């Protein structure tokens, strides 16, 4: 099939590449010419395990190309995937300006039947807006071309995006146009050969399913975080509680980890957008509002622990921070808890030495030149002569550090672990003062 993917970010580039991997001809469009330049030079603009190799393989095979030419991209694909950003607007609702601009661009240049597929995470009713924009633009042009708008929300996880796309749990297609549904079935059949995992439903339910999934996952995290804080007060151990409840098949073990708050490009904005959408219907989502409030508070939990231990004036003190990306295996720092911690430490007069295996370039972009903030080339170098260590992202390389070397590098053997990576008893035996999220 001939496919255009609009937007070459975390979702668009993975979508385009994986569709090419199955033998389709794919053209990826991005208006950010710096991204297209990187792609033309054989690189990729993001860190995503396995993606670079797959991009190169498909480019060499002639199935994957990149452009910033809108006219070329519209002419190319019978299927036009919209995978552009939907950042929060000022009030937290999803800003649809990129999605609607992409739709308008398609309508400005199309002359024959197109299936326009919303892959971006968009509020209920967006497909209707996309449809209206395309119909209006075609009418203004006096062009009588048929089209269908399909909702196909994406469920991939950054850090495991290629694997998730190639082996999806489910593919949700919201559509009411039989011709479009048939094309979507054909497109996705190679991804679901083992058994059919495509769920076809009405457009609005498909749009809501994506928000519902992220809201449910965020709820589990905030629930565990609040419980962890309570466990600390009550002298219980959240890790024991996690095992105790996760073994109930109705609950399960996934996504039950307490930590220093969720971040990233999806949960915070999608939770907010769903809350705002519900408010517009005058049916507030009270549970979800609490989820968001709990998460905002949780992002300060490490800073509060540090203040409790070292006092509210941190001038003259230096803190090592391990982990800047919002989660492991990505360089994405959007709404990362590390930002809240580092800003908090700097505001209290502390110096920060940060380390992350892949997100350091992104961190320099996010923070710019900041007095008091330095970057180290290794975890141990960050710890060297620091007053304490704070762990924010659970990268594998932090799982089993050389604890003796870490202890001698730090001025005080104090570790604040926002991801509960080590066994508290063992840390105490190694001579560390070890503060966790809800562990005894």
375 binds ligand NAD (CB under 6 A): no
Residue 424's CB: how many other CB atoms inside 10 A?
17
Cα 126 to its chain centre, rounded Å, is 21
Site string for ligand NAD, 286-325 (x = CB under 6 A): ----------------------------------------
Under DSSP, the state recorded for 198 is E
Query: Per CB under 6 A, which region of 98-106, 124-132, 222-230, 245-253 contacts ligand NAD?
Result: 98-106
Q: How far is the CB of 122 from ligand NAD (least distance, A)?
A: 7
Place of tokens 């959007």: 334
The interaxial angle of helices 10-21 and 51-60, nearest 10 deg, is 50
Catalytic residue among 18, 28, 260, 266: 266
Q: How far is the CB of 31 from ligand NAD (least distance, A)?
A: 4
Nearer Cβ to ligand NAD (27/227): 27
152 binds ligand NAD (CB under 6 A): no
For ligand NAD, which residue of 101, 166, 366, 423 counts as binding (CB under 6 A)? 101
Q: How far is the CB of 171 from ligand NAD (least distance, A)?
A: 13
86 binds ligand NAD (CB under 6 A): yes
35 binds ligand NAD (CB under 6 A): yes
Selection from 325, 316, 400 nearest residue 355 by Cα: 325
Strands of the sheet containing 25-29, edge to edge, are 64-67, 25-29, 2-6, 79-82, 114-118, 147-151, 171-174, 198-201
**Is residue 276 within 8 Å of 93, Cβ to Cβ?**
yes
Selection from 344, 332, 410 nearest residue 49 by Cα: 332
Q: What are the residues whose beta carbons fall under 8 Å from the beta carbon of 132, sequence distance 6 or more?
A: none
For ligand NAD, which residue of 48, 158, 331, 435 counts as binding (CB under 6 A)? 158
For ligand NAD, which residue of 266, 340, 348, 388 counts as binding (CB under 6 A)? 266
For ligand NAD, which residue of 21, 48, 154, 417 counts as binding (CB under 6 A)? 154
For residue 374, give the H/E element and its range: strand 373-375
* Annotated catalytic residue 260: no
For ligand NAD, which residue of 120, 209, 229, 295 counts as binding (CB under 6 A)? 120
Nearer Cβ to ligand NAD (261/263): 263
Query: Per CB under 6 A, which region of 23-31, 173-181, 273-281, 335-343 contacts ligand NAD?
Result: 23-31
Length of the chain: 440
9 binds ligand NAD (CB under 6 A): yes
Residue by residue, DSSP assigns 77-146 as -SEEEE-----B-TTSSBP-HHHHHHHHHHHHH--S-EEEEE-S---TTHHHHHHHHHHHHHHHHT----
Q: How far is the CB of 272 from ligand NAD (least distance, A)?
A: 12
117 binds ligand NAD (CB under 6 A): no
CA dihedral 308, 312, 318, 324 (to 10 degrees): 70
For ligand NAD, which residue of 4, 80, 209, 265 counts as binding (CB under 6 A)? 265
Query: Per CB under 6 A, which region of 95-103, 139-147, 232-240, 422-430 contacts ligand NAD?
Result: 95-103
Cα 53 to its chain centre, rounded Å, is 21
Q: Distances in Å between the alpha carbon of 73 and those of 13, 29, 63?
A: 15, 6, 14
Q: How far is the CB of 57 from ligand NAD (least distance, A)?
A: 21
Nearer Cβ to ligand NAD (240/361): 361
Question: Both tokens of residue 152?
Answer: 């196909």
Nearer Cβ to ligand NAD (66/98): 98
Active-site residues: which are they? 266
Q: Which residues bind ligand NAD (CB under 6 A)?
A: 6-12, 29-32, 35, 83-86, 98, 101-102, 120-121, 154, 156, 158, 265-266
């Amino acid at each position: 099939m001939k496919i255009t993917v609009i937007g070459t970010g975390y979702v668009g580039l993975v979508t385009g590449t994986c569709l090419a991997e199955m033998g389709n001809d794919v053209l990826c469009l991005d208006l950010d010419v710096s991204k297209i330049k990187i792609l033309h030079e054989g690189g990729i603009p993001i860190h995503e395990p396995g993606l670079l190799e797959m991009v190169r393989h498909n480019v060499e095979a002639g199935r994957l190309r990149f452009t910033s030419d809108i006219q070329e991209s519209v002419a190319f694909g019978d299927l036009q995937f919209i995978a552009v950003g939907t950042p929060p607007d000022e009030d937290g609702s999803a800003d649809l300006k990129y999605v609607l601009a992409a739709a308008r661009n398609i309508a400005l240049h199309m002359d024959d039947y197109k299936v326009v597929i919303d892959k971006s995470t968009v509020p209920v009713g967006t497909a209707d807006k996309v449809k209206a924009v395309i119909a209006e633009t075609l009418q203004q042009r006096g062009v009588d071309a048929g089209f269908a708008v399909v909702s196909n929300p994406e469920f991939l996880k950054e850090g495991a995006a290629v694997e998730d796309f190639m082996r999806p749990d489910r593919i949700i297609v919201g559509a009411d146009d039989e011709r479009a549904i048939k094309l979507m079935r054909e497109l996705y059949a190679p991804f679901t050969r083992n058994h059919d995992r495509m769920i076809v439903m009405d457009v609005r339910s498909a749009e809501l399913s994506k928000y519902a999934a992220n809201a449910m996952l965020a709820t589990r995290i905030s629930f565990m975080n609040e419980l962890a804080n309570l466990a600390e007060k009550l002298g219980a151990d959240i890790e024991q509680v996690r095992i105790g409840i996760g073994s109930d098949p109705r609950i399960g073990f996934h996504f039950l980890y307490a930590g220093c708050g969720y971040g990233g490009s999806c949960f915070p904005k999608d939770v907010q957008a769903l809350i705002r959408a519900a408010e517009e219907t005058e049916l507030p989502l009270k549970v979800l509002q609490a989820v968001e409030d709990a998460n905002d508070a949780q992002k300060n939990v490490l800073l509060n622990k540090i203040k409790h231990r070292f006092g509210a004036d941190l001038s003259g003190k230096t803190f090592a921070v391990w982990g800047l990306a919002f989660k492991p295996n990505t360089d994405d720092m959007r709404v990362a808890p590390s930002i809240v911690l580092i800003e908090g430490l700097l505001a209290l007069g502390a110096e920060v030495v940060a380390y992350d295996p892949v997100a350091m370039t992104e961190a320099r972009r996010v923070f710019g030149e900041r007095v008091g903030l330095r970057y180290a080339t290794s975890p141990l170098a960050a710890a060297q002569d620091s007053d304490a260590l704070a762990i924010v992202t659970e990268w594998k390389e932090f799982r089993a550090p050389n604890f003796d070397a870490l202890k001698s590098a730090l001025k005080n053997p104090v570790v604040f672990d926002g991801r509960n990576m080590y066994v508290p008893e063992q840390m105490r035996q190694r001579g560390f003062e070890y503060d966790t999220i809800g562990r005894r």
